[in-house]
Structure 1
Amino acid sequence: MASASCTAPKTASEFHPTVWGDFFISYEPPPLQQSEKWMRERSDQLRKVVSQLFDAFDGVAEKMNLVDTLQRLGIDHLFEEEIATTLNIIHNVFNKFKHRDGSFIIDITKNPKGLLSLYDAANLLTHNEEALQKAILFSRHHLELMKSNLKSPLAEQVSRALQIPLSRTLKRVEAISYILEYNVHEQTYNPSILELAKLDFNLLQHIHQRELKTITQWWEDLSNDIGLDYIRDRIVECYFWSYSIYFEEEYTRARMILAKFFMLTSLLDDTYDTRATLEECRKLNVAIQSWDESDVSVLPDYLKKFFLKVMSNFVEFENELEPHIKHRNAYNRKVFQLLSGYYLQEAEWFHHNYIPSFKEQIEVSVMSAGIQALSVCILVVMGDIVTEEALEWAIGNNDAVRAGGEVARFMDDMAAFKNGRNKLDVASSVECYIKEYNVTSEVALAKIGSLVEDAWKTINQAHIDRRELLPFVHRVTNLSRSMAILFLDKRDAYTYSKDFKGTMVSHFIKTIPL
């Protein structure tokens, strides 16, 4: 039965205001510790020095440690060919931890670094890998027992891994911690590697600061023009999401377009969720599906400028693409239209007080999480390396893309359940599961948590099955990794971004002393 809210407007949710405002518009970073020219020249020199280490090390253990160090320090993107060649010759990683009968060597429990390596590696498991599942339980149990007795920095590394396994951790996040931990006490310590990591971080941060100035100004102009007061004002958070996908220097254009796309989808989401009546939702979806400026006339006044700005920004996205790839922007438009349809379905459920079955709910909500749309945009703006096959893979919502949507949806829903669902949101997957199966919230949360783990197994499998698409699977997986940190401990660091400000300060404001 339809509720009265079919015609009456909703009361806007009280999202807290931005914690940044116009900070980055007026922010003048302190001068770099050396000139940018000197830092770049020094970085090039060090890259040559570090590159030679791949040939200098003969043993497999030394090569593995080198790769691990470069990855943790966030500079593996500078040595992609060398690392690929090295990994191709390394096999049987788990055998050193086991007896011939498959049981774990008990001495490993006396070696916390070995246990941590086992735990990190085992979390790359796929479906039906019982041995690796046992390895996770075994190593996690013993790491939990010993973590309070470990010395720094191993204690911090174990704590981080137990919160988010290394394979699910954003490289840039791990780099900030590991740069401070990698010192003369490390067996693998090499001063050239550490200096290169610091230089690379600071040079890239300088680029990111300039981009934040530009993107914040774009948002201030847009928000002043459309004048929507019910939305989550989160442009810096959207930029963080974009930066988490590709932080490297060559992806400036990709970061900027993706951050804008993030923000536009967030505005659309908040409009359907917190402001529009059901009739307004339907009209907005019709306009978006037709993608014709003339349809602005059917929209209420408060949505007219928003709709026109969406269309003009998509034109700008296309204008920024090279002539031979401009046609790819049609993929962006298509997934934005699909996303609008999913938001409308949720609005229909909400306005009619309908609680869907668990299956119905996740079929829509996994898509409304937006990962498919964002995955497509990630690839559209990456340039010439992207193939049509990769774009079709993303828009087809295949393996890692679908699983990424499950990670985002289920982690979001668990956070919402813990913190109290917005009264204007449709019933979550947790609530639908509780109602349909008549179970306690603890049972439902455990089930949803297990579905997150299953989704990560699917993501890991995609890295094996989609070798020809691996660079793109990697970028899409970064989207899932960003969800792992934003929804850590069932928080929602996008909607409630005050708690996340410190993290972003470490990425975008604090430099690392050379």
Structure 2
Amino acid sequence: MFVETHEELAKLELIDIITKLGLGDLFPHETQRALEAVLSSNKKTKNGEEDLYIIALRFKLLRLHGYDVSQGMYVFKGAFSITKCTEIKGLLELYEASFLAFEDENWFDVKWRIAVYENNENVDKRLLELAKLNFNSVQATLQKDLREISRWWRNLGIMEHLNFTRDRLAESFFCAVGLAYEPQYSCFRKCLTKITTMILIIDDVYDVYGSLQELEQFTEAVDRWDSSKIQKLPECMKICFQALHDITNEIAYDIQELNGWNVQAILHLRKAWTGFCKALFVEAKWYNEGYSPSLEEYLSNALVSSGGTVISVHSMLSLGTDEMIDLLGKSEDLVYNISIITRLCNDLGTSTTEKERGDAPSSILCYMREMNVSEKEAEGHIKKMISKTWMKINRQCLRSRSPDLLVPSSFVKVTVNVARMVHCLYQFGDGFGVQDQQTRSHILSVLIEPFHLDCP
């Protein structure tokens, strides 16, 4: 297909549709060669000016595939009249380019995009058939992963002893798929599912179960990684600690066995869990003392209590080598902003429920009290913060590919997908706390229902 396509616009449109149909991983080298040719070319239309559509499409695709092109290279400002179909298409591409961090091969949109493409009057039957086959193939791998992780969860038997916490295995696996859907990341997905279930369980221990004294002992036990510190705690908290202890050791062993390198993964994982529990304990103290922090103080702690650091450390170790943990420092700003998105989206989706339940203050409540504004005004401020943070993430994604950083693209992609995932889960409310219809529909579409293929 790439060989048959010579015109620049046709090449760009082919790359765009291949990406949207989830086929980008099948043509990485062809895509790279085509984009390098586009980058080095300065073709213009006959009248010396280029169509807005091709400018915006070129800019979006080059940025999307890691080429650090500046807006100055493709001037978007200026007066133009929206009279042509191509100019309307150009505006749409420009809109997508301005929200680049939301783009990429989002697997949750692929099925819908394939269905839309099927109804396109200019549909390429070869691409359509390939996209459906690829989707079904990936889905079969995901189903196998889900069966294996479900068996592990049943054998663990932890939910039989914990009636206060959320049982969200399917949603946790769904999140792992959102971070890395590619078949080769099967072990990574199962690792992330285990981590997410533990984040939810421990979050509920701090939010709705333990007394402040019990939580202090639990936090100390995690900090020291010492089961002798939990002997006076309720049985269910002992079970939670033991599950965290065993799962973390299991994951550390799997990481070292999978990557074949000698690193004390357990030390990095323990440090991440300790930070998470300490941050949750701070929030528990605020609630028990009736203290209302400023938004800045709240966020400085919530960046850790969101679980973003736990996920980032596990991701870095699972995807890389023993030197990669040192790169967390180089990608610190990216992880910071991803954690901001995670916390703020979570607060927007859960603030009403948590306020009724009497949990620690959310970012919305902190801003309301600090600035003496209404809930609606506070929500508007939080939404603006999310938009500004996405703009920073866009820049950081490009900067992370510079020679002086060399942060692996697999880690950058997975990390940014954390933020995309929380948008998906919390856009209609609390996608984790309440098993709503939208989340169930997403799970069915992505994990259960394949495309029906036409028989030859």
Shorter-normalised TM-score: what interval? 0.7 to 0.9
Q: CA shift at 1:419, angstroms?
A: 5.2
Is 1:432 aligned with 2:366?
yes
Rounded to whole Å, the distance in 1 between the matches of 2:268 and 2:364 is 32
The correspondence of residues 183-198 of structure 1 with structure 2, limited to 5 A, is 183=118, 185-187=120-122, 189-198=123-132
Rounded to whole Å, the distance in 1 between the matches of 2:199 and 2:249 is 16
Contact kept, 8 Å, 1:238 with 1:263, in 2: the verdict is yes
Rounded to whole Å, the distance in 2 between the matches of 1:237 and 1:299 is 29
Q: CA shift at 1:307, angstroms?
A: 1.1
1:141 is matched with none
Contact kept, 8 Å, 1:335 with 1:395, in 2: the verdict is no
Rounded to whole Å, the distance in 1 between the matches of 2:347 and 2:75 is 43
Paired residue for 1:344, among 270, 277, 281?
281
Paired residue for 1:492, among 426, 430, 437?
430
Distance 1:184 1:432, change over 3 A: closer
Deviation digits for residues 49-101 of structure 1 (CA, Å, limit 9, x no counterpart) = xxxx2233222211111111111111112222322333334459997429989
Aligned Cα root-mean-square deviation (Å): 2.5
Is 1:113 aligned with 2:61?
no
The correspondence of residues 357-376 of structure 1 with structure 2, limited to 5 A, is 357-376=294-313
1:175 is matched with 110
Contact kept, 8 Å, 2:294 with 2:366, in 1: the verdict is yes
1:506 is matched with 445
Deviation digits for residues 300-352 of structure 1 (CA, Å, limit 9, x no counterpart) = 32211221121111221122232415533432222111101100110111111
Deviation digits for residues 189-231 of structure 1 (CA, Å, limit 9, x no counterpart) = 3222211111111112112112212212222232447611100
Is 1:278 aligned with 2:212?
yes
Rounded to whole Å, the distance in 2 between the matches of 1:266 and 1:313 is 14
Partner secondary structure for residue 212 of structure 1 = helix
Q: Match of 1:121, as an amino acid?
A: A
Give the share of equivalent positions with the same residue, in percent: 25
1:377 is matched with 314
The correspondence of residues 472-487 of structure 1 with structure 2, limited to 5 A, is 472-487=411-426
The correspondence of residues 327-476 of structure 1 with structure 2, limited to 5 A, is 327-382=264-319, 386-388=320-322, 390-394=324-328, 398-418=332-352, 421-467=355-401, 468-469=406-407, 470-476=409-415
Rounded to whole Å, the distance in 1 between the matches of 2:299 and 2:287 is 15
**Structure-1-length-normalised TM-score:** 0.76
Q: Which runs of 5+ in 1 are unaligned?
A: 1-52, 126-165
Q: Match of 1:493, as an amino acid?
A: G
Rounded to whole Å, the distance in 2 between the matches of 1:221 and 1:316 is 14
Contact kept, 8 Å, 1:434 with 1:444, in 2: the verdict is yes
Q: CA shift at 1:505, angstroms?
A: 0.5
Rounded to whole Å, the distance in 1 between the matches of 2:350 and 2:83 is 39
Contact kept, 8 Å, 1:462 with 1:473, in 2: the verdict is no
Q: Match of 1:315, as an amino acid?
A: N
Distance 1:387 1:455, change over 3 A: farther
Distance 1:225 1:295, change over 3 A: farther
Paired residue for 2:163, among 210, 224, 229?
229
Contact kept, 8 Å, 2:265 with 2:317, in 1: the verdict is yes
Q: Match of 1:235, as an amino acid?
A: L
Distance 1:104 1:240, change over 3 A: farther
Rounded to whole Å, the distance in 2 between the matches of 1:328 and 1:308 is 18
Contact kept, 8 Å, 1:226 with 1:305, in 2: the verdict is no
Contact kept, 8 Å, 2:22 with 2:105, in 1: the verdict is no
Q: Which deviates more, 90-99 or 280-289?
A: 90-99
**Structure-2-length-normalised TM-score:** 0.85
Q: CA shift at 1:407, angstroms?
A: 0.9
Distance 1:233 1:510, change over 3 A: same
Deviation digits for residues 135-179 of structure 1 (CA, Å, limit 9, x no counterpart) = xxxxxxxxxxxxxxxxxxxxxxxxxxxxxxx52x76211211011
| Greater RCO (Cα-Cα under 8 Å, separation 6 or more) | 1
Contact kept, 8 Å, 1:486 with 1:494, in 2: the verdict is yes
